Every structure is written in structure tokens, then in C-alpha cells.
């Protein structure tokens, strides 16, 4: 293994050993408190595009990698930062090495980092840009270049290019505006709906023409205010007055903007599988990758009501519209593996559709 660094835009440098692909890459450095398991799901999830994920659990890759855990067929993160990457995983999933997988998929990682120190730093300073680089580079130069480095977190690259119809033999068909979702999301939907997958910029008419009974705006990477999403916001706004719409993660933020609410970036965001949200009096654990949140004062004017907040910091996690059949959640209800506490929210949406069409 070769030595290398994680360089942060504020000039902080962590040294370690590089693994995975022989490249240098910049990204938005965020930490995730999950990570003993689920690392493969995280790095292959299109929502995490452009991120350098700091996994707070010190041992990563313990059970190897296996096709069954892919959320897509690519590694979307810019890189990962770990304390120790496993070179001799448990054999039961017949897995390959995480490092080899990353090399094959063109992603870089750095190990030997005091990830707790880094996490505490990010907690204090908020997320920052950073770059994983090889030993011997001019660090000052890297820091300087990071200031202007544009991290590509665009939905454009991860949204499908064409319409795909998936008939699961279900009664109700929903359309999905796919902003960059993973396999787990579709598995959860398949248990309840027939699904038609649309590119993020598919016109409302084209969607309605397919005869869908409701629309789900999916998760995806980056900022909901990104220029490339402006058409999507318009499309969603149009759809909300025509049929039930549900937004999850990035999709819920697009939906909130479409309804007239304001969003603001969060200092740190929520990254991890144990974000507590209260739903109908019961606490549910949610898996989040949330970087933006709804400004509470903008809710009233947008005609939406807050249905869920995060127990830790009271950030809005769920909303509905006062009149329209519309709901949004700042996380994917299926959780990391499709078995999350909140997967029933899709059933609720199914019932909402059924109620609306009666």
C-alpha cells in the first residue's frame, strides 16, 4: 500500500495508507455513524455521489463485498476514510475484498486515519471539501485548489436515461422520478406497486400519459437547489395538483420547494442509520443522508404541515400538504436494507392513492 493524505479545505491533513484505485479524488467530506455493516450499500448508493465518506466504525470491510449488497453497479462516493480496512474478511458471504472492489470500480480509500478525531473536527466545523491524495504532493497546492474545486454531485449523471416499466403484478402503478436511487428502494416499491421509472427531467404530461396513479420523487445526490433540478421542481409542482405525490430524501426536498417552502443547508446533516423520528407517537429509526432541511418559518405559506421531526435536533423529517395528497420524508422509508422501521410509509402512500382514486 502507498502512503497518502486526506487534505481538507481548511488545511487540516490526515495521513494514512491508500487503498482501492490508484487515483486522487476530491469530494465533500461527511461522516456516517453506521458502517460496521452496510458499507457496500453506502458506497454504491447514487445518493452519495461526490462524497468522501468518513466511516466512524474503525473496522470496515469485515465481511467483504458481494453483489447482493450493491445499491447500483457503480461506486458513487468519491472516496472513503477509515481507521482500518479489512484484508481478511469473514468468508460467509463469499466476498471479495472491499479494497479490490473499490479498485475495480475506480474509487479510492484511505486507512489508518483517526476517524474519531476527523469526525469531531467535522462536527465542530461542519462538512468541508477534501481530497484524498498520494504521498509527496504539495499539500498547500491541494488546499488552494480545493477552494475552487467543484464537486460533481449532479443528479444528471445518476438519473436513468430512459423510461423503464417494471410490472410486479400489483394493482397500482406508480411513477418514480428517479434522481439517483438504489436497488433497495425499488425492491421495497416492488412489494407494493408496479413501477415506471422516469428520468429526472421527464415532463409531467409524459408521466401522466403512462396512467400512473401516483408519483414518488426519489432520493439522489447533491443540493435540491441545484440548477439542473429546476425543471424537476416545475414538473413536481404540476404533478402535485393532479395526483398523489410522495417525496423521499432529495425527492422530499424537491417536493417542498415545489410547494413553496424554503430550504437551508444543515451544518452537518444527518448521516447514519440511527436517526430517531417520531411517527404517530412511536419512535422509528431511520437511515438518512440529509444535508438540507426545510426552514420551519416557510411551512405555513407553503400550505404544508409538519408530520415528523428528528428527536435529536427537531429538524423537519416529514410533512404533508393541507389539501393536496402529498407527503414527503427526509429519508428513504425502506432504510438501508429495505427492512427499516418506516417501510410502512409506502403502504400509507398506497392507501393514499387508493383513497384518492375512489
- Contact set with other proteins (CB under 8 A): 31, 33-34, 36-38, 41, 56-59, 62-63, 66, 68-69, 83-84, 88-93, 114-117, 119-120, 123, 272-274, 276, 278, 281-285, 311-312, 335-337, 339-341
Least separation in angstroms between residue 75's CB and other proteins is: 17
Contact 32, 42 (CB under 8 A): yes
CB closer to other proteins out of 88 and 148 = 88
Q: How far apart are CA 309 and CA 329, in angstroms?
A: 10
CB closer to other proteins out of 94 and 167 = 94
CB closer to other proteins out of 217 and 293 = 293
Q: How far apart are CA 174 and CA 349, in angstroms?
A: 10
CB closer to other proteins out of 13 and 301 = 13
Least separation in angstroms between residue 33's CB and other proteins is: 4
Q: How far apart are CA 37 and CA 69, in angstroms?
A: 10
Least separation in angstroms between residue 307's CB and other proteins is: 15
Instruction: Say what angle helices 230-240 and 250-259 make with each other, to 10 degrees.
Output: 70
Q: How far apart are CA 211 and CA 142, in angstroms?
A: 52
Residues 6+ apart with CB under 8 A from 300: none
CA dihedral 205→209→215→221, nearest 10 degrees, is: -60
The helix (H) or strand (E) run that includes residue 135 is none
Q: How far apart are CA 3 and CA 17, in angstroms?
A: 4
Residue with cell 417520531: 278
Q: How far apart are CA 79 and CA 270, in angstroms?
A: 19
CB closer to other proteins out of 175 and 272 = 272
Least separation in angstroms between residue 339's CB and other proteins is: 4
Least separation in angstroms between residue 357's CB and other proteins is: 31
Least separation in angstroms between residue 215's CB and other proteins is: 28
CB closer to other proteins out of 69 and 198 = 69
Q: How far apart are CA 249 and CA 329, in angstroms?
A: 6
CB closer to other proteins out of 63 and 292 = 63
Least separation in angstroms between residue 119's CB and other proteins is: 4
Contact 32, 53 (CB under 8 A): yes
Amino acid at each position: 500500500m502507498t502512503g497518502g493524505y486526506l487534505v481538507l479545505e481548511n488545511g487540516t491533513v490526515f495521513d494514512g495508507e491508500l487503498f482501492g484505485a490508484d487515483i486522487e479524488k476530491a469530494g465533500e467530506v461527511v461522516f456516517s455513524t453506521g458502517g460496521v455493516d452496510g458499507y457496500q450499500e453506502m458506497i454504491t448508493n447514487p445518493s452519495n455521489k461526490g462524497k468522501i465518506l468518513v466511516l466512524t466504525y474503525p473496522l470496515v470491510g469485515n465481511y467483504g463485498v458481494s453483489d447482493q449488497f450493491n445499491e447500483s453497479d457503480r461506486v458513487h462516493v468519491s472516496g472513503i476514510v477509515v481507521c482500518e480496512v479489512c484484508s481478511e474478511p469473514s468468508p460467509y458471504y463469499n466476498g471479495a475484498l472491499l479494497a479490490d472492489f473499490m479498485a475495480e470500480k475506480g474509487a479510492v480509500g484511505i486507512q489508518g486515519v483517526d476517524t474519531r478525531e476527523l469526525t469531531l473536527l467535522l462536527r465542530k466545523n461542519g462538512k468541508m471539501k477534501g481530497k484524498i491524495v498520494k504521498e509527496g504532493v504539495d499539500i498547500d497546492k491541494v488546499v488552494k485548489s480545493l477552494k475552487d474545486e467543484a464537486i460533481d454531485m449532479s443528479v444528471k449523471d445518476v438519473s436513468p436515461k430512459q423510461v423503464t416499466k417494471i410490472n410486479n403484478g400489483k394493482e397500482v402503478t406508480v411513477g418514480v422520478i428517479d434522481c439517483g436511487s438504489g436497488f433497495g428502494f425499488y425492491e421495497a416499491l416492488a412489494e407494493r406497486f408496479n413501477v415506471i421509472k422516469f428520468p429526472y427531467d421527464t415532463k409531467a404530461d409524459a408521466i401522466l400519459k403512462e396512467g400512473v396513479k401516483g408519483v414518488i420523487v426519489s432520493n439522489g445526490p447533491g443540493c435540491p437547489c441545484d440548477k439542473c433540478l429546476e425543471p424537476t421542481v416545475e414538473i413536481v409542482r404540476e404533478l402535485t395538483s393532479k395526483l398523489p405525490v410522495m417525496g423521499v430524501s432529495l425527492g422530499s426536498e424537491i417536493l417542498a420547494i415545489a410547494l413553496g417552502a424554503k430550504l437551508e443547508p444543515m451544518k452537518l446533516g444527518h448521516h447514519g442509520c440511527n436517526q430517531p423520528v417520531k411517527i404517530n407517537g412511536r419512535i422509528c429509526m431511520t437511515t438518512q443522508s440529509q444535508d438540507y432541511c426545510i426552514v420551519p418559518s416557510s411551512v405555513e405559506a407553503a400550505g404544508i404541515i409538519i408530520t415528523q421531526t428528528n428527536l435529536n435536533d427537531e429538524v423537519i423529517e416529514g410533512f404533508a400538504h393541507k389539501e393536496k395528497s402529498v407527503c414527503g420524508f427526509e429519508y428513504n422509508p425502506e432504510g438501508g436494507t429495505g427492512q427499516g422501521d418506516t417501510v410502512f410509509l409506502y403502504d400509507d402512500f398506497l392507501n393514499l392513492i387508493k383513497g384518492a382514486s375512489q
